[in-house]
């Protein structure tokens, strides 16, 4: 499932580390706070008490061998920036950095770190879009100017195939996946509901009531779609 390093064990870093590990990934966490390191042991693959600005220490834990490094030191710009410089020097490929300000984001982008995460801003954006449309479950802004949303199927989509819906051609929006409930009946006659996902939807797949669409498009195209389907 991949190898990841999480640097910084605040709420954000701890949540990312626990979630990755719970889903089968190999996770190494790094922090200067010995208490936090002790508390998370057993919940991740390895917990290391080192300073992330120590180049040799990062090299020794094999930081360059990770599929991605999550830099979760948003409240200390100096440490975040210096750690980013070292990570780039050591050849860490995919770096995801938590930031708390636009200035912090701009500095990291200048250093070549382009996967920027604004947790509080993202939550605010997601809440706003959920309030504007009851169909929107999740809303994620990407640093490329694109957006991913999870949207409940409007009734006008129900019963149509993806080819008939033609979102890529008509709206410039791609259907990444379809989430749905699979209902079976147990030996006792009870309904059993399983959460399923079609992560390779085809042109002839039919959209059913209750499905959830995972959509990808430019921010402007996604906003247009949200506005068009808000009352449907």
- The verdict on 109 and 126 lying in the same domain is no
What is residue 160's three-state secondary structure?
coil
- The verdict on 88 and 164 lying in the same domain is no
Give the pLDDT confidence score for residue 231 in this predicted structure: 67
User: Which of the listed residues 117, 133, 168 is the one where a domain comes to its end?
Assistant: 117
Place of tokens 């006008």: 156
pLDDT of 37 higher than 90: yes
- The verdict on 25 and 95 lying in the same domain is yes
What is residue 129's three-state secondary structure?
helix
CATH of the domain at 36: 3.40.50.720
Closest C-alpha to 66, from 81, 82, 87, 86: 87
- The verdict on 18 and 40 lying in the same domain is yes
**Which residues, 6+ apart, have CB-to-CB distance to 223 below 8 Å?**
147
Sign of the alpha-carbon torsion through 26, 51, 33, 96:
negative
- Mean pLDDT check: name the lowest of 9-18, 112-121, 213-222: 112-121
- The verdict on 88 and 139 lying in the same domain is no
The per-residue pLDDT for range 103-144, each reduced to its tens digit, is 998 999 999 998 888 877 777 777 777 777 788 888 887 767
Dig out the tokens for 209 from the structure.
């009531």
Binning the chain into helix, strand and coil, the percentages to the nearest 5 are: 35, 30, 35
What is the C-alpha separation between 52 and 195, in angstroms, rounded? 40
User: Which of the listed residues 117, 138, 168 is the one where a domain comes to its end?
Assistant: 117
Mean pLDDT of 14-19: 92
- The verdict on 91 and 157 lying in the same domain is no
The per-residue pLDDT for range 176-200, each reduced to its tens digit, is 999 999 988 888 888 888 989 998 9
- The verdict on 110 and 133 lying in the same domain is no
Q: Are 198 and 205 in contact (CB under 8 A)?
A: yes
- The verdict on 111 and 138 lying in the same domain is no
What is the C-alpha separation between 117 and 70, in angstroms, rounded? 10
- The verdict on 16 and 109 lying in the same domain is yes
Question: Looking at the 3D structure of the chain, how many domains does it have?
Answer: 2
Averaged confidence pLDDT in the chain: 90
pTM: 0.64
The per-residue pLDDT for range 64-77, each reduced to its tens digit, is 999 999 999 978 99
- Domain with 147 in it: 121-229
Backbone angles phi, psi at 123, to 5 degrees: -65, -40
Q: Are 14 and 8 in contact (CB under 8 A)?
A: no
- The verdict on 97 and 199 lying in the same domain is no
- The verdict on 111 and 151 lying in the same domain is no
Place of tokens 């030996």: 187
- The verdict on 136 and 204 lying in the same domain is yes
User: Which of the listed residues 117, 152, 183 is the one where a domain comes to its end?
Assistant: 117
């Amino acid at each position: 499932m991949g190898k990841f390093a999480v640097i910084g064990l605040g709420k954000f870093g701890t949540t990312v580390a626990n979630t990755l590990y719970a889903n089968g990934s190999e996770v190494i966490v790094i922090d200067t706070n010995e208490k936090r390191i002790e508390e998370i042991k057993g919940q991740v693959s390895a917990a290391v008490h080192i300073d992330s600005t120590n180049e040799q220490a990062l090299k020794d834990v094999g930081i360059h061998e990770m599929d991605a490094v999550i830099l979760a030191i948003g409240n200390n710009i100096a440490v975040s920036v210096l750690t980013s410089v070292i990570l780039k020097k050591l050849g860490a490929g995919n770096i995801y950095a938590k930031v708390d300000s636009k200035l912090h984001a701009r500095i990291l982008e200048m250093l070549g770190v382009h996967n920027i995460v604004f947790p509080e801003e993202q939550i605010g954006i997601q809440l706003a879009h959920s309030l504007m449309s009851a169909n929107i479950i999740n809303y994620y802004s990407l640093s490329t100017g694109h957006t991913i949303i999870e949207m409940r199927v409007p009734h006008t989509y129900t019963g149509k195939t993806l080819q008939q819906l033609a979102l890529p051609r008509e709206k410039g929006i791609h259907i990444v996946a379809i989430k749905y409930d699979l209902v079976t009946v147990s030996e006792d006659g009870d309904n059993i509901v399983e959460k399923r996902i079609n992560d390779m939807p085809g042109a002839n797949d039919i959209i059913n009531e209750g499905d959830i669409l995972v959509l990808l498009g430019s921010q402007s195209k996604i906003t247009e779609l949200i506005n068009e389907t808000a009352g449907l």
